[in-house]
Amino acid sequence: MGDWNLEFSRLCDYADMIKQTNPGSSCWVKIDKETEPGKNFFVYFYVCFQAFKQGWLDECRKIIGFDGCFLKGACKGELLVAVGKNGYNQMYPIAWAVVDIETKHSWNWFIKYLIVDLNLGNGEGLTVMSDMQKGLIPVLLELLPNAETRRCARHVWSNWHKDLAYFKFHSKCDVVETNMCETFNSWILAARHKSIITMLEEIRHKMMNRHVDMIKFAETWIDDISPMARRILEENKELSNRCHVQWNGVHGFEIRDGGFTFGVHLDKKYCDCRLWMLRGVPCPHAVCAYYYLNQDPDAHVEHWYRKETFLKAYSHFIQPITNMRMWPKTTNPSIEPPVPRKMPGRLKKKRMKDKNEPKKYGKL
């Protein structure tokens, strides 16, 4: 599981090694010098590798999910994560931070660094997903006021009597849940039991391997469009057969689908059903309009579903780092681990489910 005291004491050295071996990466440590004179207690640790930073900036969809999960080691604490989505709608981890406790202050500290790394500005054109994390919503409204802030549909449904959540519609995003974050949290479950540098190194190793796996996966695609987008497009082509077309002679169409009539504007990539704008894949009504003009709908799938775009997101690589025994001696301050906090109740191995969540039944 690692040496807790030794790894915390060399945390600043680890941050230096990340920035030295992976130029352009951001890695910051916050310490507390006031609790006990002469000692530096750990507070926060943030890391965003250049490979993930540049990959998200270049070719990923402008969607970020925020979530936090508990660490299982002796010093407890929490891991805050920012996760995006690639062109196959899979998770794309961007940055993570180890904090002593999840609060408005810790989220503020984490997101401020992320805004600088990803050039988010005030959040214009960005979609943010969360599941009602403690202190997160006020921070998002303050630091990213122009971002489209959404809350996980499952958490909205299970907490409907507590809070009515809604979201505006001004960005191409069909995400209504935080599965990308939940997937990442469960993916690193074993690492969350270990001491801080051992845990962070295991996460880094998993990310290195995943980069290679994603490149190999893209080579299995049968055409230029990702399999997920291809499946949606082929389904929409089938559904377009039941539609009837009226054309205004330029870019506007009236598409009758059953008992409803939808307006389609090809130049603006707009349809009244809104599926085209949300997904970035032509809806059945848009497909019908393109077929009417003898055009191929495949050419109008958004670029982030293309193989070339997908590979660009993984064209930046994490560089190797030597282990702690080989790091040079430095004058960095030695950090003390946070004071262990006794959690209330008996230690639980499984997440507490909401009363409305479906239960999985198996053999007794």
Residue 80 covered by a domain: yes
pLDDT of residue 251: 84
CB 301 within 8 A of CB 274: no
Instruction: Answer yes or no: do 198 and 255 share one domain.
Output: no
pLDDT of residue 84: 92
pLDDT of residue 165: 42
Residue 25 covered by a domain: yes
Contacts of 338 (CB under 8 A, 6+ apart): 41, 42, 43, 75, 76, 77, 100
Residue 123: give the domain boundaries. 4-219+311-336
Give the separation between CA 16 and CA 27, rounded to whole angstroms.
Answer: 8
Residue 349 covered by a domain: no
Query: At what angle are helices 284-292 and 227-239 packed, to 10 degrees?
Result: 70
Instruction: Answer yes or no: do 134 and 191 share one domain.
Output: yes
Number of domains in the chain: 2
The residue from 253, 284, 305 where one domain ends is 305
Instruction: Answer yes or no: do 158 and 22 share one domain.
Output: yes
Query: Would the pTM count as exceeding 0.75?
Result: yes
pLDDT of residue 357: 65
Q: What are phi and psi of 270, to 5 degrees?
A: -125, 140
pLDDT of residue 80: 94
Give the separation between CA 229 and CA 281, rounded to whole angstroms.
Answer: 7
Instruction: Answer yes or no: do 114 and 31 share one domain.
Output: yes
| Distance between start and end Cα atoms, the chain | 32
Residue 358 covered by a domain: no
pLDDT of residue 161: 43
Residue 345 covered by a domain: no
pLDDT of residue 132: 67
Contacts of 310 (CB under 8 A, 6+ apart): 59, 86, 87, 88, 214, 218, 226, 304
What six digits make up the tokens of 322? 């030597």
Instruction: Answer yes or no: do 244 and 318 share one domain.
Output: no
pLDDT of residue 122: 93
pLDDT of residue 113: 97
For the chain (length 364 residues), average pLDDT per consecutive 10? Answer: 84 96 96 86 95 91 89 83 90 94 93 96 90 82 89 53 44 66 88 92 95 94 93 95 91 91 93 90 95 94 92 93 91 85 57 64 62
